[in-house]
Amino acid sequence: AQTVTQSQPEMSVQEAETVTLSCTYDTSESDYYLFWYKQPPSRQMILVIRQEAYKQQNATENRFSVNFQKAAKSFSLKISDSQLGDAAMYFCALHQTGANNLFFGTGTRLTVIP
């Protein structure tokens, strides 16, 4: 069975500082993808970043980067130079190749303090 765990229900960060959101997962598959989605107050889910399990290099998208530790089954999201618009719920998600859906964690609510 596959599970995704986000152990931080809430996090806060000062504007312009860096914050890291944690995610661990469990899967018996060797081929999978990991995602971070952002859900702002509008509740529209937005893809932030994607990581392929077969790639050792950590994915980066502008101020967002991940620390993918495959052996530890860990997939944390680092947000640098935090902005007020980063305030949102962040969900970690797992997709196993050949499966039909995403498995989501319970989310981390990020507050950005001006």
* Residues at the interface with another protein (CB under 8 A): 4, 9, 33, 35, 37, 42-47, 50, 52, 91, 95, 97, 99-102, 104-107
* Residues contacting residue 55 through CB under 8 Å, at least 6 positions apart: none
Q: Which secondary-structure segment (H or E) carries 95?
A: strand 88-96
CB of residue 17 to another protein, shortest distance in Å: 26
**What minimum distance in Å lies between the beta carbon of 94 and another protein?**
10
Nearer CB in complex with another protein: 45/80: 45
For another protein, give the closer residue by CB, 99 or 113. Answer: 99
Instruction: Assess contact for 34 and 103: CB atoms under 8 A.
Output: no
Q: How far is the CB of 79 from another protein (least distance, A)?
A: 20
Nearer to another protein, 74 or 80 (CB): 74
39: which strand partners? 89
Tokens of 67: 């620390």
Cβ-proximal residues to 44 (8 Å cutoff; 6+ apart), any chain: none
